Amino acid sequence: MTAAVQNVPRICFVGLKNLGLLAPEYGRLGTGGAELQQTLLARALARRGFPVSMVVADYGQSDGAVWNGVQTYKAFRPEQGIPVLRFIHPRWTGLWSALARADADIYYTSCAGALVGQVALFARLRARQFVFWAASDTDCDPRALLIRYWRDRHLYRYGLRRANLVFTQSAQQQQAMARNFGRESRVVESLIEPAASPRPFSERDIDVLWVANLRPLKRPEVLFQLARQLPQLSFHMIGGPMTGGEALFRAVAAEAATIANVTFHGAVPYHAVGGFFSRARVFANTSSIEGFPNTYLQAWANGVPVVAFIDPQGLLSRLSLGQAVNETSEMTQAVARFARDLPAWEEASRRSRKYMDDAHNESRVLGPYLEALRELWVPRRAATAQPG
């Protein structure tokens, strides 16, 4: 009733790992860009009076607990159940129970996987709306999907076909989604929390910063190559293990310990990562696959030039917000230049801050989301309204 009176929909974000970003006391939980974007959008909508909820995993928190105006419902404990059988119970049954308690008009999730199909089917059976947000280029290409099981691939395709709305992060993703899956989508920008006043070059004590969840496609070994070739620079690495990736985490930590100019911090809560960006002169991204990395936005908001192989929307090249490179040798030269050449760094830093002020202020970025969500809500409200 409250949502109808306020003329806004009830929105439920479904992200099982989101609690690590929503609640600081759970900040050590592993999270990524998709979780960050859901959490930032949920908070922004809650500040604007939308009834917002979130379905997350059970980490011992109270069911129905509220953080930043977002009410949470827990689905299941990550370790709960018998392997194979737990896919149905408690995971699928626990998820649907939490979705039902949220009782939203619009359900919103991200990342290719079984969860997309499970939420889409729930929404379809309850005559609710379902929104999917593509978190990576791989979500838009059936040949590159980061999905292990055929079952989960099938559920993803099912959910994608039945989504009432699909968001993508770039024109390239939009084209790929249409070409590969026959789905129309809307391009939306990523949200970012504002940074404090950027520090001057002389007060930054981290020459090169690297931040990513430790997965093979992030290629941490490339950063080790840079560090060995540039012993005069200090390199700081932040990254926690992904599920099933504990061996890689241990290998990276061991390798970092053998290089004198590399400091490996392991997993760092999102709430503390901003402090590292404020201290950095250069942000290096060594990934081979990305969507639109949140780390780029965090870097630019702090006036940090980005050097990377991935150049979403051609921003690095077009706007000189750092440098796009094709080879490790080229990255080595670019990192060294921005870490030591004050005029080059100041110009790229200034451009980075200006880009964020112009293109990523919250009001501008949030507008397309609000328009799309209200369009979804209006047809349903009109269709269900009783004749006077």
Tally DSSP H helices, then E strands, for the chain. 15, 14
pLDDT exceeds cutoff 90 at 286: yes
Mean pLDDT of the chain: 92
Give the per-residue pLDDT at 88: 96
Question: What sign for the dihedral angle of Cα 312, 313, 317, 319?
Answer: negative
pLDDT (tens digit per residue) in 290-321? 778 889 999 999 999 999 999 988 999 999 99
Give the position of tokens 């299941």: 76
pLDDT tens readout for residues 177-221: 999 999 999 999 888 887 778 899 999 999 999 999 898 999 999
pLDDT digits (tens, 9 = 90+) for 85-121: 999 999 999 999 999 999 999 999 999 999 999 999 9
pTM of the complete model: 0.80
Closest to 30 (Cα-Cα) out of 243, 216, 295, 255: 243
Confidence of residue 174 (pLDDT cuts 50, 70, 90): very high
* Residue 136, CA distances (Å) to 118, 148, 235, 260, 308 in order: 20, 16, 26, 34, 16
- With a cut of 70, say whether residue 58 has pLDDT above it: yes
Residue bearing tokens 């379905």:
55
Quote the pLDDT of residue 6: 56
The token pair at 136 is 């990576």
What pLDDT, in 10s, does the model give residues 131-158?
999 998 999 999 999 899 999 999 999 9
CA distance between the termini of the chain:
18
How many beta carbons lie within 10 A of that of residue 229, not counting itself?
15
Share of the chain above pLDDT 70, in %: 95
Q: In which band, very low, low, confident or very high, does the pLDDT at 285 lie, cut at 50, 70 and 90?
A: very high
CA distance 214 to 206: 20
Out of 11-25, 196-210, 369-383, least confident range? 369-383
pLDDT of residue 378: 65
Look up residue 277 and give its amino acid: F
Residue 10, pLDDT score? 96
- Can you tell me the mean pLDDT for 48-52? 95
The predicted model gives 253-266 an average pLDDT of 97
What is the SS3 assignment for 207? strand
pLDDT at 5 over 70: no
* Domains of the chain, each with CATH number or no CATH: 2-191+361-384 (3.40.50.2000), 201-359 (3.40.50.2000)
